Structure 1
Amino acid sequence: MIFLTTISLLVSAGVGIATPTGRPLPLVIWHGLGDAYDSEGIQGVANLAQKVHPGTFVHSIYLDPDSDGDRSATFFGRVDEQIATVCSQLSAIPELTSGFNAVGFSQGGQFLRGYVQRCNNPPVKTLITFGSPHNGIADFLAECKPTDFVCRTASSALRSSKWTPWVQNRIVPAQYFRDPEDLDAYIEHSAFLADINNERPGERNKTYAENLGSLERFVMLMFEDDTTIVPKESAWFAEFNKTTGERTLVEDRELYKQDWIGMKKLGDRKRLEFVTAPGRHMELSEELLTGLFKKYLGGRVDGEKMGLWVQGVGF
Structure 2
Amino acid sequence: MRSTALLATLAVGALSVALPHTSEDVQLPLVIWHGLGDDFEREGLAQVAELAEETNPGTYVHLIHLADTGSGDRSATFFGNVTEQIELVCEQLAADPILSTAPAINALGFSQGGQFLRGYIERCNAPPVHNLVTFGSQHNGISEFESCKYNDWICNGAEALLRSGRWTSFAQSRVVPAQYFRDPRELDLYLANSNFLADINNEREAKNETYKKNLASLNKFAMFMFEDDTVAVPKESALFAEVNSTTGEVTALQDREIYQEDWLGLKQLDKAGRLDFKTTPGQHMRLSEEVLRDAFKEYFGPLEDNWRTPSLIVQRGS
TM-score (norm 2): 0.91
Choose the corresponding residue for 1:68, options 55, 58, 71. 71
Partners of 1:273 and 1:19 lie apart in 2 by: 32
Could you say if the C-alpha distance between residues 266 and 223 of structure 1 is closer, same or farther in structure 2, counting changes exceeding 3 Å?
A: same
Could you say if the C-alpha distance between residues 102 and 9 of structure 1 is closer, same or farther in structure 2, counting changes exceeding 3 Å?
A: farther
| Contact 1:135-1:238 within 8 A present in 2 as well | yes
Residue of structure 1 in register with 2:257 after alignment: 254
| Contact 2:13-2:62 within 8 A present in 1 as well | yes
Could you say if the C-alpha distance between residues 19 and 154 of structure 1 is closer, same or farther in structure 2, counting changes exceeding 3 Å?
A: farther
Residue of structure 2 in register with 1:309 after alignment: none
Residue of structure 1 in register with 2:119 after alignment: 114
Structure 1 residue 6, shift from structure 2 partner: 4.9
> CA-to-partner distance for each residue in 1:95-134, whole Å, 9 max, x for gaps?
1132110000000011000000000011000000000000
Residue of structure 2 in register with 1:13 after alignment: 15
Partners of 2:17 and 2:79 lie apart in 1 by: 33
Structure 1 residue 238, shift from structure 2 partner: 0.3
Q: Unpaired segments of 5 or more residues in structure 1?
A: 302-315
Q: Aligned residues: percent identity? A: 56
Between 1 and 2, higher relative CO (CA 8 Å, sep ≥ 6) is seen in 2
SS at match of 1:140: coil
Residue of structure 1 in register with 2:30 after alignment: 27
Could you say if the C-alpha distance between residues 101 and 19 of structure 1 is closer, same or farther in structure 2, counting changes exceeding 3 Å?
A: farther
SS at match of 2:229: coil
Aligned AA for 1:128? V
SS at match of 1:15: strand
Residue of structure 2 in register with 1:126 after alignment: 131
Partners of 2:11 and 2:255 lie apart in 1 by: 34
> CA-to-partner distance for each residue in 1:210-239, whole Å, 9 max, x for gaps?
000000000000000001111000001100
Structure 1 residue 204, shift from structure 2 partner: 0.3
Backbone CA RMSD of aligned residues: 1.5
The runs of at least 4 consecutive aligned structure 1 residues that moved more than 6 Å come to none
Structure 1 residue 52, shift from structure 2 partner: 0.4
Residue of structure 2 in register with 1:200 after alignment: 204
Partners of 1:298 and 1:144 lie apart in 2 by: 37
Partners of 1:264 and 1:276 lie apart in 2 by: 20
Structure 1 residue 241, shift from structure 2 partner: 0.7
Q: Unpaired segments of 5 or more residues in structure 2?
A: 305-318
| Contact 2:27-2:303 within 8 A present in 1 as well | no
Q: Which region of structure 1 is more displaced relative to structure 2, 9-18 or 190-199?
A: 9-18
Residue of structure 2 in register with 1:161 after alignment: 165
Query: Superposed, which structure 2 residues align to 1:98-113 within 5 Å?
Result: 98-113=103-118
Partners of 2:105 and 2:118 lie apart in 1 by: 14
Partners of 2:280 and 2:134 lie apart in 1 by: 12
Partners of 2:18 and 2:201 lie apart in 1 by: 34
| Contact 1:9-1:30 within 8 A present in 2 as well | no
| Contact 1:16-1:95 within 8 A present in 2 as well | yes
Query: Superposed, which structure 2 residues align to 1:225-304 within 5 Å?
Result: 225-300=228-303
Aligned AA for 1:72? S
Choose the corresponding residue for 1:151, options 142, 155, 162. 155
Structure 1 residue 23, shift from structure 2 partner: 3.7
| Contact 2:78-2:177 within 8 A present in 1 as well | yes
Structure 1 residue 87, shift from structure 2 partner: 0.4
Could you say if the C-alpha distance between residues 280 and 21 of structure 1 is closer, same or farther in structure 2, counting changes exceeding 3 Å?
A: same
TM-score (norm 1): 0.92
Structure 1 residue 9, shift from structure 2 partner: 4.6
Is 1:138 aligned to 2:138, yes or no? no
> CA-to-partner distance for each residue in 1:265-314, whole Å, 9 max, x for gaps?
1112110001000000000001111111111112249xxxxxxxxxxxxx
| Contact 1:213-1:261 within 8 A present in 2 as well | yes
Partners of 2:178 and 2:247 lie apart in 1 by: 25
